[in-house]
Structure 1
């Protein structure tokens, strides 16, 4: 496997290369900026590129966007020090294959590589937990109450009775929750709640 490490910090690049050199990767190249990265990706089409979002004054996601537009087959794993909801959502939107924090254990980084190499997505658990927290925080206090009742498997009529509101109001809140969570059915809400803890 050919791999490119794209980061503007030499120490980070050296540490990653040292870690990955003990794996089955046959070739690792180091890049520090967008134009060099695009040149290497177009020329060599590495299987995976590990990329920092913040490359000095440049944005590493620009490399992903341009590569996707050119329909090249390189997969991308964002390796970053910061959890930015805006950057994470943008990375998801343009088709990043993995997202992991730089303070992850070496074995987690190697695991992320193996997952992405098999054609699947990998997101650092710390990032997905933050995303879930942010989704919950978009709800109003009443929507959170309705969400908790949905988690008990209650019908709209039962929720209305428990919260002393009309069934019509419950339906409106359920529709709003579905929209905010980008879900289609209330059964998906129950599945979602089984995976996280609502405070």
Structure 2
């Protein structure tokens, strides 16, 4: 996996490059500090993924994404930012950003996001996702069956399929079916997002580290 880093702070670029270079099967392909440099590096290296600062001095990282995709570049983009405002998030959604990570995230969280996005999935920092889910919760859970709601609560508590099956007196196969239905009905990508959703609407207490270990 080839990765390009775009940030207007040299120290940030070096730090990210160091984290990336320690990972197997991941190549640091280049860096840039502004839109002009970024587009040149992306065109020359054809990276699989670009780690991109949302705010580059007087430029926006979102503009780079729009131009790059307008030129047909195939790279995926993860925004790195210290901002978690709803306005920034909505703009990122409009630009079809592949991932959104807060700069205070731990290195292992960033690596997790990189691998998830590289596999074609979306990744949102838990803090950002929790805010989004709280605002968008609405009445989506009304579409869930009573048993699916019970499974959602268990997911929110970090339970694995075996534990859920034991607690709810159903088979692991049935649990898997319920989880799939929950993700589809709530328009969520995976179990982690389901756990965050359950926490955001007050159904359960979520421990991100526990969920990531399962």
Deviation at 1:41, TM superposition (A): 1.1
- Preserved contact between residue 148 and residue 198 of structure 1 (Cα < 8 Å): no
- Preserved contact between residue 3 and residue 25 of structure 1 (Cα < 8 Å): yes
For residues 20-78 of structure 1, the C-alpha deviation after alignment (integer angstroms, 9 at most, x for no partner) is: 11112223312110110011112221110000110001001001111111221100000
Deviation at 1:17, TM superposition (A): 0.7
For residues 76-129 of structure 1, the C-alpha deviation after alignment (integer angstroms, 9 at most, x for no partner) is: 000111112111111112111111111111111111111111111111111011
Is the partner of 1:82 in helix, strand or coil?
A: coil
Residue of structure 2 in register with 1:197 after alignment: 201
Residue of structure 1 in register with 2:115 after alignment: 114
- Preserved contact between residue 38 and residue 64 of structure 2 (Cα < 8 Å): yes
Tell me: CA distance 1:188–1:69, structure 2 relative to 1, closer, same or farther (3 Å). same
For the aligned residue pairs, the C-alpha RMSD in angstroms reads 2.8
Is the partner of 1:79 in helix, strand or coil?
A: strand
**How many residues are paired up?**
157
Residue of structure 2 in register with 1:167 after alignment: none
| Larger Rg over CA atoms | 1
Deviation at 1:134, TM superposition (A): 3.3
Deviation at 1:151, TM superposition (A): 8.8
- Given the two structures, how large is their TM-score scaled by the length of structure 2? 0.65
- Given the two structures, how large is their TM-score scaled by the length of structure 1? 0.69
- Preserved contact between residue 3 and residue 26 of structure 2 (Cα < 8 Å): yes
- Counterpart Cα distance in 1 of 2:133 and 2:69: 27
